Amino acid sequence: MKNKTLAAWLTFLGGPLGLHRLYLFGLGDTLAWLLPIPTTLGLYGLERSMDYGVDDVLSWWLLPLLGFSIAGNSLMAIVYALMSKEQWNQKFNPESDIDSAAGQTQWLTIGVLVVALMVGATSLLSGLVYSFQRYFETQIEEARKISQ
């Protein structure tokens, strides 16, 4: 029996590492094994920006991957938390009764919904702002070089 609350929390907390997909779909799920790649690249971009500063071009490209990975998994946690009991049990517990308790929404499910919404929106907007800011700063620097 796949529990909706546990799956939503795993998606929020361990989603960038693919833990929720391993829980829901098993060890044979390809996407579960691919999810850590953009997360790791984003963490490497964060490390590079801490070591070399925000002017490092590689970190400029890699760092938003971390924010988008967190935002995407927060969105999936929201989707799982908002699934009706019938939809959840039909998709992830097809062998059980459609009204099984594993798909019920509890207070912890609402908690992950609220936290995932806050963190996901913040990481998505942070990734976008960082990308656009670095893009426009480099465009201004190039324009200054051309004008001189």
Output the six-digit token pair for 12.
């929020």
Q: Report the C-alpha dihedral over residues 98, 100, 106, 110, rounded to 10 degrees.
A: -30
- Most confident segment among 31-35, 98-102, 129-133: 31-35
pLDDT in tens, 73-96: 999 999 999 999 999 989 998 888
Count of C-beta atoms within a 10 Å radius of residue 128: 14
Q: Do residues 15 and 24 make contact, with C-beta atoms less than 8 angstroms apart?
A: no
pLDDT in tens, 23-64: 999 999 999 999 999 999 999 999 998 999 877 888 888 988
Per-residue pLDDT at 47: 93
**Where does residue 111 fall: left (phi above 0), alpha (psi -120 to 50 degrees), or beta otherwise?**
alpha
Phi, psi of 131 (to 5 degrees): -60, -50
Predicted model pTM: 0.84
Domain boundary assignment for the chain: 4-147
